[in-house]
Amino acid sequence: MTSPPLRSSTTLFSFQPRRRGSSRLDLNRGGFSLCASSVLNEEKRNLELGGHVGFDSLPDQLVSKSVAQGFCFNILCVGETGIGKSTLMNTLFNTTFENEEGSHYESEVHLRPQTYDLQESNVNLKLTIVHTVGFGDQINKEESYKPILEYIDAQFEKFLEEELKIKRSLYNYHDTRIHICLYFIAPTGHSLKSLDLVTMKKLDSKVNIIPVIAKADTVSKSELDKLKIKIMSELVSNGVQIYQFPTEDEAVAEINSSMNTHLPFAVVGSVEDVKVGNKMVKARLYPWGSVQVENENHCDFVKLREMLLRVNMEDLREQTHARHYELYRRCKLEEMGFKDTDPDSQSFSLQETYEAKRKEFLVELQRKEEEMRQMFVNKVKETEAELKEKEKELHERFEQLKRMHQDEKKNLEEKRRELEEEMNAFNRRKVAAETLMGQALQGCSQQPFKKDKDKKK
């Protein structure tokens, strides 16, 4: 069988006068531009192949390339200390991860990422588990979610910086963006805490959230059903967007739509092997019996593992890149001055955007420099005014002290003059007294002489 002949187009290119604002390719030949609109507007032609060509192996090539490159998956575990985050991770991946026991006395929330290389069959997985150490242990819990938001944004920022590099290496780049957030809800109480609602509301635009009820074996089955209904109603009423398993693919639409009705998952984790009947299973052993982790009548652990790892792992990775990262990237580029253009407007130019942003930056820098200069001048004037005021106060103080000194000097002069007058008066009295005493002594000495004279006579 021979393939039908290709249809030829007689008007592949045409020369038309150049219009202002046109996005056609300019050949700079007498003001004309090359127009390929007839090619773009031509309908696609469907051809029948005469035999096997071989491009149907493209999916197999993609699979081989992806398997050789390996995969990465990053899980963020948010929950209070001791709620069972590490135990659930060990149970999910059927191994024992290295993890330090958390303390209830952390002054602030710390995020501790740990990366592991796992292999199953011929598939390599670079798994990163991020624990929130000290979450919910502070007295003031208002800012407990901020370190988590900052960490998620920091991973987006690293990926964006790698994308904007001139020489990129996205092929072997270790992607640390968070693909899923498992939010652990304590089974104590009949509703969500205010911290849970605030944190999930802040995180829902940054990461895929799957709420899980931890330590579900501490609640009876009837109370657990009521708690699930209460949690979902509170999430809906507060506008919290949690991750919904996709139902577009017919292969997984039925199971995903069924699993969406089971959210939040009530899970139990355990790494202990307990003999139940004739087989060993993962379970928690109590005096009254055992809670089997992989028994769907006891908890939703199997549902969580099925949805998280076996069915929707690639969708979680895709949603992280196509939804959450694109939202962050768009907002970040808009802050940097980049913007999309309409098809009818002028084409987008990185150079023009850079120049415009540079001019804007220089104008802003000049404005800030002028503000700093004006602030410096005002500060100098204020300082000069303060110095003049202090100088005036010092002069006034000096004049006051000078007047006080003069007054004291005047008082001392007056006291000195009074003392001199008193001394002069005292000296005059002393001289008078001495004169009188001398006269008295002289008179006394003459009187006995007269008596002796009289006796001789």
Q: Are 70 and 126 in contact (CB under 8 A)?
A: yes
Q: Are 234 and 197 in contact (CB under 8 A)?
A: yes
The phi and psi torsions of 220 (rounded to 5 degrees) equal -70, 160
Q: Please report, for the chain, the start and end positions of each structural domain, with discontinuous segments joined by +.
A: 66-336, 351-424
Residues 346/352/358/361 CA torsion (nearest 10 deg) = 0
Q: Which CATH number fits domain 66-336: 3.40.1010.10, 3.40.640.10, 3.40.50.880, 3.40.50.300?
A: 3.40.50.300
Q: Are 36 and 13 in contact (CB under 8 A)?
A: yes
Fill in the DSSP letter of residue 215. Answer: S
Q: E strands, 18-70, where?
A: 25-29, 32-35
In the block, residue with structure tokens 């820098």:
365
- What distance separates the 2 farthest-apart alpha carbons in the chain? 203
Of 321, 279, 286, 282, residue with least CA distance to 299: 282
Give the SS3 label for residue 151. Answer: helix
Q: Are 207 and 316 in contact (CB under 8 A)?
A: no
pLDDT tens digits in sequence order for the chain, 457 residues long: 444 444 333 333 333 444 434 333 343 434 433 344 444 455 778 888 888 888 888 888 888 888 888 899 999 999 888 888 888 999 999 888 877 776 667 778 888 999 999 998 888 999 999 999 888 877 777 778 899 999 999 999 999 988 888 888 887 888 899 999 999 998 876 778 888 899 999 999 999 999 999 988 888 888 888 889 999 999 999 999 999 998 888 888 889 888 988 889 999 888 888 887 788 888 888 888 888 888 888 888 899 999 989 889 999 999 999 999 999 998 888 887 676 655 555 555 666 777 777 788 888 889 999 999 999 999 999 999 999 999 999 999 999 999 999 999 999 999 999 999 999 999 988 888 888 888 888 888 777 666 666 666 5
Q: Are 290 and 346 in contact (CB under 8 A)?
A: no
**Nearest-angstrom CA–CA distance, 325 and 202:** 15
